[in-house]
Structure 1
Amino acid sequence: MEWSTKPRHPDLPFGSWADDLAAAFVRLEPRRLADHPFEGAISRADAAPIQISLVTATRHTVLRLASHIASSTDDLCFVNLQLEGVGRTTQRGHEQISTPGDLALADTTEPFEIANCHNFRLFCFAVPRGLLPKRMLDRPRLNLSATEGGRALSRTLAGYAELCLSDFQRAKTSAMVGAHLIDLISQAPEILTDVAAERVHIPVLLSMMLDHIDRHSDDPALGAATLAARFRCSERYVHRLFATTGRSVGEHVNEKRIVACTRRLLDSAARHKTIAEIAFAAGFRDISHFNRQFKRCNGLTPREFRRVTAAP
């Protein structure tokens, strides 16, 4: 579902934005921070038992007032992942400052204020209160951008949100992602306190490791030892995690590298590159190993693949 507001009358600075917020979230009151034109858009997807929204808007403040709560039966928490801009969430006298990559939590059963003093984008995860650990509700501090583990978690949350909001989502996939997102969000305090990896839930840690592989597959040294050092656990524990996927760390890494090489071989702009140059740039160290892996995945050697897919 989508909502978009671009007011045309000066005497109605927010247009239908208050109604759009109520339809997408709960009843909120928008207020101006400065005399400037307002624009806002919301895209929302259901990922039972939560809802995921992408909010893009010019700077403004929203308030959850006691009058809103008195006429509401909503029992939700908003967990906002800042993508652009800087947000300030104030509730129960506690202030959370969110820069890109940070989370902020707002409990809709009590008054709060969320101020964005600059134009902003954020993902909002609307989660039933009872599904979050109670320790998260009392003076939350969720500055994920402050640690490597937190940044990895932030990227993973954003990836799942993008998946659910894409045009290709399916109901079954969204439900699975919704449950997993709750696990990821619930683990944020532990990840930020820099606890040992073995104390982080397996699905959460595995998602973070897979995200690391996605982003660093071109590192020739990437493997179980690298992941163990990055996430402060033993290599044996890394192997145990990946055993639950049915594939080894090396198989996950090779798959990402082969995909990168396949795309490069299909790219007309890379025709001047040798196959070895493409393989080494993707992280392979041994051209014979690369050739075997490529043929196993694509049914052709890299040279044969390039020849048959070349434009006439």
Structure 2
Amino acid sequence: MADHAGASGVRTWSTVDVDAGDAFAYWREEICRTFVPLRPRLLGQRDQPFRGRVDTRTISVATMSRIRAAPQEVVRDPADGDQLEGSWFVNLQIHGTSAVTLADEQRVLRAGDAVLLHAEQHYRMTFGSDFEQACIRLPNWYVRETLGPSDRLHGRVLPASPLTAILRPYVVAAVDQWDADSAAPASMMALAHITALLRTAVSDGATAANVDTDRTVRLLLEIRARHRDPDLDATAVAHHLGISERTLHASLAPTGMTFGQHLRLARLRTVALTRAETGCTVLEAAHGAGFCDVSSYYRARRKLDAGVWR
């Protein structure tokens, strides 16, 4: 399967059916076409043919990809051009390690770490062994509007944490698990949650000084763990965590989403995943996800589709 577009909207590039002698040349051509012009270089002498696979899906303004490949080095030089007008990458290390070099500074990513990289800046990524990464590509304007000033984001490493741990299943599920019927709504939910998580992870300055990031993470995890309870509300979560409702809402403010929005997104995502995995009815999935009735589910869907959350 050198190049395949599935019915679910996932596009796959793989070296599995490419002649061994042509595998890396094919990989070099395809990743440059899929992402941005890059300069890949094979590392070391290998007894086995080069192996690589990219699964990617476009979700609104974002492109989410899952990359699995053999050792290599990839250089991005802005002078090589770009088929899109400026992009940001969020690379999340799933397996293996990678070294990111910017100017003379090198940063090592281990499983669970993530890094933000700008396509208009020079960087090098070195993968010394077989690896897997999740990659989110976002346009410049989206990063500016959702994450704020981006002048200090290039090369920013987000160490492994509950925040990055939450990011991984969203990207992997968006690429691998959702069928054509569930992909669009579930993926839009994923993008909304990913943006909220990234906003929290990169927040600093006055925001970081006034907000307990650990508390924010605990709140997100609490919502994720208990969203199937139809009676769950901000009062119950605040009481369980021993904080006031005012503190709860202030702790979620850096994500750019309210408690109710996070709760609805968690339930909508569960409906989409449940239907994709089991083929059950909307009614069954909605009840299992914490919606009181189907009407509540459809109201939440309409708000999501319209971008209106009040």
TM-score tier, shorter chain, comes to 0.5 to 0.7
Q: How much has 1:136 moved relative to structure 2? A: 6.2
The answer to whether the Cα contact below 8 Å between 1:78 and 1:108 also exists between their aligned partners in 2 is yes
Following the alignment from structure 1 to structure 2, what is the Cα–Cα distance between the partners of residues 197 and 209? 17
* 1:76 and 2:87 matched: yes
What SS class does the counterpart of residue 223 from structure 2 fall into? Answer: helix
| 8 A contact 1:74–1:109 mirrored in 2 | no
Q: Are residues 1:244 and 2:256 paired?
A: no
C-alpha displacement of 1:234: 4.6
Which residue in 2 is equivalent to 1:27? Answer: 37
Cα contact 2:63–2:138 (8 A) shared by 1: yes
Structure having greater relative contact order (Cα 8 Å, sep ≥ 6): 2
Partner Cα distance (1:56, 1:199) in 2: 31
- In structure 1, what is the Cα distance between the partners aligned to 2:262 and 2:71? 47
8 A Cα contact 2:200 2:213, kept in partner:
no
Distance 1:136 1:13, change over 3 A: same
Residue 33 of structure 1 aligns to which amino acid in structure 2? L
In structure 2, the partner of 1:305 is none
Matched, 1:126 2:137: yes
- Cα deviation code 1:25-62 (max 9, x no counterpart): 11212101111131011111122111110001111111
Aligned CA distance change for structure 1 residues 125 and 205 (closer, same or farther; 3 Å): farther
TM-score by length of structure 1 reads 0.62
Quick check: 1:48–1:179 contact (8 Å CA) kept in 2? no
Q: Which residues of 2 match residues 153-164 of structure 1 at below 5 A? A: 153-164=163-174
Secondary structure of the 1:104 match is: strand
The correspondence for 1:46, drawn from 58, 64, 75, is 58
In the TM superposition, residue 206 of structure 1 has moved relative to its aligned partner by 4.7
Q: Which residue of structure 2 lines up, in the alignment, with residue 17 of structure 1?
A: 27
Shift of 1:104: 1.1
> Unmatched 5+ residue regions in structure 2?
1-10, 228-235, 253-257, 268-290, 292-310
Of residues 175, 178, 188 in structure 2, which corresponds to 1:167? 178
Q: Secondary structure at the match of 1:61?
A: strand
Identical residues among aligned pairs (%): 23
In structure 2, the residue matched to 1:272 is: none
Q: What amino acid is the match of 1:153? A: L
What SS class does the counterpart of residue 18 from structure 1 fall into? Answer: helix
The verdict on how the C-alpha distance between 1:139 and 1:246 changes in structure 2, with shifts beyond 3 A counting, is closer
Task: Report the Cα distance in structure 2 between the residues aligned to 1:201 and 1:20, rounded to whole angstroms.
Answer: 42
Code of the residue aligned with 2:27 in structure 1: it is: W
In structure 2, what residue type is equivalent to 1:207? L
Describe the shift of the 1:66–1:109 C-alpha distance in structure 2 as closer, same or farther (beyond 3 A).
closer
State the alpha-carbon separation in 2 of the partners of residues 161 and 74 from structure 1: 23
Aligned: 1:95 with 2:111: no
Q: Are 2:76 and 1:64 equivalent residues in the alignment?
A: yes
Provide the rounded CA distance (Å) in 2 between the counterparts of 1:180 and 1:205.
15
Give the unaligned 5+ runs of structure 1.
146-150, 215-221, 253-296, 298-312
SS in 2 for 1:172: helix
The answer (yes or no) to whether the contact 2:51–2:70 under 8 Å persists in 1 is yes
Aligned twin of 2:156: 141
Q: How many residues are aligned here?
A: 234
Over 3 Å counting, the alpha-carbon distance change for 1:107 and 1:118 in structure 2 is: same
**Is the alpha carbon distance of 1:98 and 1:195 closer, same or farther for their aligned partners in structure 2, counting shifts above 3 Å?**
farther
Q: Does 1:111 align with 2:122?
A: yes
Contact 2:97–2:129 (Cα < 8 Å) also in 1: yes
